[in-house]
Chain A
């Protein structure tokens, strides 16, 4: 992904080195980012996108081994594990100055503006595995773990792309974050506007102001934006709309396709372990059944075994070669293969009858008044578990979070009861009896985590 520079000595620059980055506190090209002087094996504990981009840029230019992760995600135990694994821990605050990563000395103590510059050296020093990039998984399926990649394995878009200005709302160092970053590093014309977590609610206005033409986010991210700032979202001149990180259903694809009829609406299946494996651009949920068992150079081999998606990909993380069991359910429906969610959390055993949380969620989302839904099993007497749902309405019942134990206004409670009764009947008309949600809670807003997911 590098090309020759202008002839002066120094590292070969990535082809996208001249692309523009916009973060809080930095507006400039990759090439203009200050050099950090990171230790050869470094865990960059960043406080935002500016610091993360600087660490990524440093990695592209020097033979090193790097982990980029939000400092908030690394607890004391993980910090010690990293040090024992040979990493120097380097807290980075953005905007990053060239001296930000230097260890403090007696002659140059940390200043008030750079309070988090204390580098913690590794407890087991070792040489770098040059080029190695580490990702920390989200931990949504267990304790966060390190996954080994390289810039090459993360750069999954090979062909040059139309010039675009991307919005990147993903957490620094996440797999999806690296997907946007490597796209920008590898291809000229791919600018990036980063959104800090505390800016998420106002991202449509930021995107409008910055002339963003491509946005990548989870379905929860999109649903939240359409619910809270639909007018601003509709004004965006988007040419590319990308979804990933969660099950992508037809209802959200339809809404985005209707809103942006001239844009390419894509959904991506990717994970830290399997890499980016599936990209679908036809506006339909699921991928074509004909892609199963297909062998083609540069493309992963997809298969379904006992209802689970298996992936064999050259983009997988190191140590995950061969068919990788994804833990995601795969359902062949007609000519498509749908990926409705995690196997472990999808099945709800209701008195011996099995209900699929994904199927119930799909039915709820098909209701015109539902903006978002989450379905799970809830422990219950006699039958072991019943189906329970949290729902956000397109037109909220003001101030009513049900069940109404906090004595909200009587009229509001009555309205909430009417809505939940209607949703129960909607589901009863479309689902077997045991799969109908027995408890429906109305939420005022869509819950979203730093991963942009809501763990549906």
Chain B
């Protein structure tokens, strides 16, 4: 399975937001609630990653609860690819 770099995932995250007329700020500490990044958006980003790496990711992870910032999203998706 190929893996995506954190920068690549960040680009995809930006595309998800841009499609809705929103912007991804440069600061990865930004809260998701502040930029309107919702559950549906996270799902879409996850599917984009799956499509790109060509395999399904295993989301059975308690870490989902602690995803509050942009950095949390990027870290979590990076961990999933390495799992």
A424 within 8 A of B: yes
**Is the pair A386, B43 in contact by a Cβ cutoff of 8 Å?**
yes
B18-54 interface with A by 8 A CB criterion: 18-20, 39-40, 42-44, 46-48, 51-52, 54
Q: Which residues of B contact A434 (CB under 8 A)?
A: 40
Does A424 contact B47, Cβ atoms closer than 8 Å?
no
B31-83 residues at the A interface, CB under 8 angstroms? 39-40, 42-44, 46-48, 51-52, 54, 57, 59, 64
Q: Is the CB of A428 within 8 A of B47?
A: no
- A421 surroundings in chain B (CB, below 8 A): 18-19
Do the beta carbons of B19 and A380 come within 8 Å of each other? no
16 residue pairs A–B, Cβ–Cβ below 8 Å: A380-B47, A381-B43, A381-B59, A382-B40, A382-B59, A383-B43, A386-B40, A388-B47, A403-B52, A405-B52, A424-B19, A433-B40, A434-B40, A438-B44, A439-B44, A439-B51
Chain B CB within 8 A of A294 CB: no
Decide if A400 is an interface residue (CB 8 Å cutoff).
no
Are B51 and A438 in contact, CB atoms less than 8 angstroms apart? no
Please, which residues of chain A bring their CB within 8 A of the CB of B48?
Answer: 403, 439
Most buried by B among A350, A380, A421, A433: A380
Contacts of B15 in A (CB 8 A): 417
A381-B59, A382-B64, A425-B19 known; A403 vs B51 contact (CB < 8 Å) = yes
Q: How far is the CB of B23 from chain A (nearest CB, A)?
A: 15
Residue of B20, B43, B54 near A380 (CB, 8 A) is: B43
Q: How large is the interface on A (under 10, 10 to 19, 20 to 34, 35 or more residues)?
A: 20 to 34
A351 lies within 8 A of chain B by Cβ: yes
A377-419 with Cβ < 8 A to chain B: 378, 380-383, 386, 388, 403, 405, 417
A382, A388, A403: which contacts B39 (Cβ < 8 A)? A382
A378 to B46, CA, bound (A): 12
Docked CA distance A378–B64 (Å) = 20
In the bound complex, do residue A438 and residue B54 qualify as a contact, i.e. CB atoms below 8 Å apart?
A: no
How many residues of chain B have a CB within 8 Å of chain A? Answer: 18
Determine the distance from Cα of A388 to Cα of B40 in the docked complex, in whole angstroms: 12
Closest residue on chain B to residue A439 by CB atoms: B47
Q: Chain B residues with Cβ under 8 A from A405's Cβ?
A: 51-52, 54
Given A403-B52, A424-B19, A425-B19: A383 and B47 within 8 A (CB)?
Answer: no
Q: Which residues of A contact B54 (CB under 8 A)?
A: 405
Chain A's closest residue to B67 (CB) is A382
With A382-B64, A425-B19 already in contact, the answer to whether A438 and B43 are too (CB < 8 A) is yes
Greatest chain A CB density within 10 A among B15, B19, B40, B47 is at B40
When distances are taken between beta carbons in the complex, the residues of chain A under 8 Å from B52 are 403, 405
Min CB–CB distance A140 → chain B (angstroms): 26
**Which of B18, B51, B59, B64 has the largest count of A CB atoms less than 10 A from its CB?**
B51
Q: How many angstroms from the CA of A127 to the CA of B39 in the assembled complex? A: 64
B54 closest partner in A (C-beta): A405
Tell me if A383 and B39 are in contact (CB < 8 A).
yes
A338-361 CB contacts (< 8 Å) to partner B: 350-351
Do A386 and B39 touch across chains, with their CB atoms under 8 A apart?
no
Q: Which of A59-111 contact B (CB under 8 A)?
A: none
A residues in contact with B59, CB < 8 Å: 381-382
CB distance from A387 to the nearest CB of B (A): 10
A182-208: CB near B (< 8 Å → 1, else 0) gives 000000000000000000000000000
Whether A382 and B51, one on each chain, are in contact in the complex, defined by CB atoms closer than 8 angstroms, is no
Ordered nearest first, which 3 A-B pairs have the shortest CB separation?
Answer: A381-B59, A380-B43, A403-B51
Q: Chain A contacts of B20 at CB under 8 A? A: 428
Bound: A433/B52 CA distance, A: 24
* Distance of A443 from chain B, by nearest CB (Å): 15
Q: Which of B43, B46, B52 has the most CB of A within 10 A?
A: B43
- How distant is A377 from chain B, measured CB to nearest CB, in Å? 12
Q: Mark B1-25, 1 if CB is under 8 A from A, else 0.
A: 0000000000000010011100000
Cα-based distance from A417 to B14 in the complex (angstroms): 13
Quick one: closest B residue to A420, CB to CB?
Answer: B19
* Contact partner, B47, options A351, A433, A438, Cβ 8 Å: A438
Chain B residue, CB-CB nearest to A441: B51
CA distance A382 to B15 in the complex (A): 20
Complex Cα gap A428–B44 (Å): 15
Task: Please indicate the chain A residues that have their CB under 8 angstroms from the CB of B46 in the complex.
Answer: 380-382
What are the residues of chain A within 8 A of B39 when measuring CB–CB? 351, 382-383
Expressed in whole angstroms, the Cα–Cα distance for A425 and B42 within the complex equals 18
Bound Cα distance from A424 to B19, whole angstroms:
7
Chain B residues, CB < 8 A from A425: 19
